[in-house]
Every structure is written in C-alpha cells, then in structure tokens.
Amino acid sequence: MNANASPPAGLTVFLVDDHAIVRSGVRAYLDMIDDITVTGEAGTGQEALDRIAVLEPAGDLPDVVLMDLLMPGMDGIEATRQLKARWPAVEVVAVTSFLEEAKVRAALEAGAAGYLLKDAQADQVAAAIRAAAAGQCHLDPAVGKLLAATLRAPRAAADSLTAREREVLTLVAEGATNRQIARRLGVTERTARTHVSNILGKLGLTSRTQAALWAVREGLAPARGTS
C-alpha cells in the first residue's frame, strides 16, 4: 500500500468465519460496495481478537465485525463478549445458519448489534452493517419474529409506563442512542439512560433490542424489518 494513500472512506468491516469460502464470498460482495471496505478476516474467535488487536495501535479498528457464531475453539458468542469488553466502539453483527432463541439471546446479551442468518440476501448484509455502525440493531426478519413472540411483558407492566417512558421507548425502537434521545427530549444523557433502565425494569426485559421489539409488537413503533 502506498504510504501516501488516503485511508478508506466509509465503513470498515472485519470478517470472522471458519469457512474460507464463506469469507471469500462475503468479501467479494462487500468489495463491490463503495462505502464499505473489508480490512481483515479471521477463521476463529481467538484469531479475530488477535488480529484486531494488531490493528488497534494504528487506529485501524474496524467499525463492524461480521461474526460467525459456530466456530471451533472460542465460539462467536464468547469472541463477541471479549471483543466488546476490549473495544466497546466496535460493533458486532452475529451470523449463523441456525435460528435458535437461546443463541440469539446469548449473542445479543454478549453485545451483538445485529443477527443475520447465512441465507440472508446480500442487501440485508449491507443493511445490517450500516445499521450497526449507526448504533441501531438489525435483525433477520425471522429472528425478529422469534424474539417478538417470546416477549411476555404483562399488561399491568405495560400500563405502568409513564407518558415520558413511552416516548423514550418509541425512540429506542427507532434505534436512537441515549445521547440522541437526550437531544430529542431536551434532557441529560444520564436522564435518558435512567428512563431506559426504568422501562426495561417495568417490562421485565433485559436489552434495548427486546424493548424495541416489544414496542413494535404493541404498536408503539412501526416494524423496521427489523432494524
């Protein structure tokens, strides 16, 4: 690479999958998208952590990691957990062949900002990458349907939400961060964070993604397919 060359514009992505042919296919597709650049790849969770660590000193951390969940050695869920602990600003989109509620929840609880099935269309992959980089969550439609069906917040808990909490919940469902919510409502970021925490507690939910899906199911926000 030319020492005087400009760094790639747009989003940078790191690919993690134990099948080289899968990485090659995804890279080939992403290479055709002007605003997305693949900056590295790995075949295992540990290899991904090691290679991303090498990128850190030069300030070349990827914006998004596409993370296969089923790999030998350290799986994608544990790799996601460790990656988010070390580099919170790096977003992760989980990718797998299997639609299992336990794995979906585990990936999201580990810090994944999206969940795709390997039969996803190419444009869904790009949409998930862009959504993750923007601080939003993109779920494969089948995954969103699965999670929405498992949310069982009682009606009494839903009725306990204040008008302001419903307003905050709608913004969460739109993918807004705490900072964006604070700006929209004219409150501090700490207050926005407190509102989100109270909402999760009242509804018996554990994540912003679950809250967003619940809001869609209850008609407080439009379905986003599901991003």
Q: What is the pLDDT of residues 44-77, one digit of tens each?
A: 999 999 999 999 998 899 999 999 998 988 999 9
- What CATH fold (topology level) applies to the domain 11-140? Rossmann fold (3.40.50)
Convert the pLDDT of each residue in 129-169 to its tens digit. Answer: 998 888 777 777 777 666 655 655 555 566 788 999 989 99
**Predicted confidence (pLDDT) at residue 29 exceeds the cutoff of 50:** yes
Q: Is the pLDDT of residue 86 over 70?
A: yes
Beta-carbon-side half-sphere exposure of residue 150 (alpha carbons within 13 Å)? 15
- Is the distance from CB of 62 to CB of 103 less than 8 angstroms? no
Instruction: Please give the pLDDT value at position 123.
Output: 84
Beta carbons within 10 angstroms of residue 2's beta carbon: 5
Q: Which two tokens stand for residue 179?
A: 């900072």
The tokens describing 29, both together, are: 């597709």
Is 127 in a helix, a strand, or coil? Answer: helix
Task: Determine how β-strand 114-117 pairs with β-strand 91-96.
Answer: parallel
Contacts of 175 (CB under 8 A, 6+ apart): 131, 134, 135, 136, 137, 212, 224, 227
User: Which tokens belong to 190?
Assistant: 């700490």
Do the domains 151-217 and 11-140 match in fold?
A: no
Domain boundaries, given as residue ranges, for the chain: 11-140, 151-217
Q: Which of 36-40, 105-109, 217-221 has the highest mean pLDDT?
A: 36-40
pLDDT band at 7; cut points 50, 70, 90: very low
pLDDT given for residue 188 in this prediction: 92
Q: Please give the C-alpha separations between residue 196 and each of 10, 107, 133, 173, in angstroms, as whole numbers.
A: 30, 21, 21, 11
Does the structure show a pLDDT above 70 at 226? Answer: no
117: phi then psi, degrees, rounded to nearest 5: -90, 150
Q: Outline where DSSP puts E strands in 70-212.
A: 91-96, 114-117, 138-139
Q: Vertex 111, ends 100 and 207: CA angle to 5°? A: 75
Q: Alpha carbon of 68 to those of 11, 92, 117, 208: distances in Å?
A: 19, 10, 10, 22
Which of 146 and 209 is assigned the larger pLDDT?
209
The pTM assigned to this predicted structure is 0.68
Domain 151-217 adopts which CATH fold? Answer: Arc Repressor Mutant, subunit A (1.10.10)
